[in-house]
Amino acid sequence: MIRPLSRTALVLDIVGAFVLFALTVPVSLAFYAPGNLSPIVSDAVGIGILFLAGTLQCGAVAVGRLAPGISLVAAWAGAIAQMAAGLGPLPINLAILGVLYATAAWGSTKVFWAGLGSAFVGGVLASVQIFFVNGLAPAGSIASSIATITLVAVMSILALGAPWLGGFGWRMVLRWRATREAQTLAEAATAEEQERVRIARDMHDIVAHSLAVIIAQSDGARYAAASDPAIATEALGTVSQTARAALSDVRMLLTQLRHRQGDGPQPTIADLDQLFQQVQQAGLEPRVTVDPTPPGEPPAAVQLAVYRIMQEALTNAIRHGAGGVVDVRLSWLADRVEIEVRNAVTDADARPSGGGGHGIVGMRERAQLIGGTLRAEREGVDFVVSGRLPIGSPTEGSTGGEE
């Protein structure tokens, strides 16, 4: 029944209704001079009903936006009192146009259609009032009289229907704005969810890789502590360096969670050498083949995907592999980059063919985000991670993150 409305808007509506009342009521009195107010009631009664009808109809304008349904009822009450007293159309009836606009623009579904019906019924009643109550029936044949009455009725309906159509247009504008706002909020929520997924994926890659290197180096330091303290000291240094690097990366990701201004610096293919060194310090021997080399500067999203897939694949080799050599192959072709990481696994390795935990799922997601594919499965005594990532034009690049 009552819509939420700001105090400023309500005050403006009330002031506007008061101004309308002050302008139309005196003009209505002047339009119907004393002695000619109505063929039904006396002048005093007619003036009183005119003031009552003006108050109801202008009051309906005052609450048109706040309560369109109540506004329509008040306007009809004023119009019925006016017609019952035999008063024809008056300048105060301009208020009805504002009420019909309000019902179409802000009314509920029932009020919306009630406003349309009121425009039709009001137009017909106005023509009947003019010709049969106020004694202005047209002269001439019955056919011409019917035609005249019909024309006046149609014109009255159009006059009342015009503001209703205007309100309907504004209703469509408000609905479009609400739809756009909902769409914007949905897009923002989707972007935030994608950002959380990306940060979670990066967090997994950083923590899993760093912990795998730390565990391998710690075990090596423990075994070498008794026989060769120098090797143990070097391994502990690697542990410290890896932990600090991981801490720095985690802090960067947490900063991105707090501040969404940008993705922050992301690893590129230039950081692969440092990654291979960490793997080597963890006890594996990466045998890297890059053929052909990148034809220019690949897009930043492709570089990040290559780095993270390589990081996760090498982390799996450290955690689940049999040690020794890990074959790494990168082929930078004109339209794509092909990745392959192959390492030996032990018979006790329980990973299913093509399966895996979050790491393998994350690698597949990274490849799919940029339109590529990835396969991770066991081939004989080896576990192979292979993928194809589209490159596009080598000149595109460094314009954004993986999303």
Better pLDDT: 183 or 88: 183
CA distance linking residue 128 with residue 136, whole number of Å: 10
CA distance linking residue 400 with residue 403, whole number of Å: 8
Q: Where are the beta strands (DSSP E) in 291-381?
A: 321-332, 336-345, 373-379
Omega into 39 within 30° of 0, i.e. cis? no
The whole-number pLDDT of residue 119 equals: 94
Helix (H, G, I), strand (E, B) or coil at 64: coil
Band (399; pLDDT cuts 50, 70, 90)? very low
Q: Looking at the predicted structure, is the pLDDT value of residue 374 above 60?
A: yes
The whole-number pLDDT of residue 148 equals: 81
Better pLDDT: 149 or 233: 149
Residue 328: which of 308, 346, 303, 310 has the closest Cα?
A: 310
Q: Are 20 and 60 in contact (CB under 8 A)?
A: no
The whole-number pLDDT of residue 261 equals: 45
Tokens read off for 388: 């194809």
Average pLDDT value over all residues in the chain: 81
Residue 358: which of 403, 284, 308 has the closest Cα?
A: 308
The whole-number pLDDT of residue 222 equals: 72
Tokens read off for 124: 């017909």
Band (248; pLDDT cuts 50, 70, 90)? low
pTM: 0.55
Better pLDDT: 306 or 283: 306
Q: pLDDT tens digits for 131-159?
A: 776 666 666 667 777 888 888 889 989 99
Q: Looking at the predicted structure, is the pLDDT value of residue 114 above 70?
A: yes
Helix (H, G, I), strand (E, B) or coil at 217: helix
Q: Could you tell me what percent of the chain has a pLDDT over 90?
A: 32
Q: What is the mean pLDDT of residues 165-184?
A: 92
Q: Looking at the predicted structure, is the pLDDT value of residue 67 above 90?
A: yes
**Euclidean distance between the first and final Cα of the chain, in Å?**
47
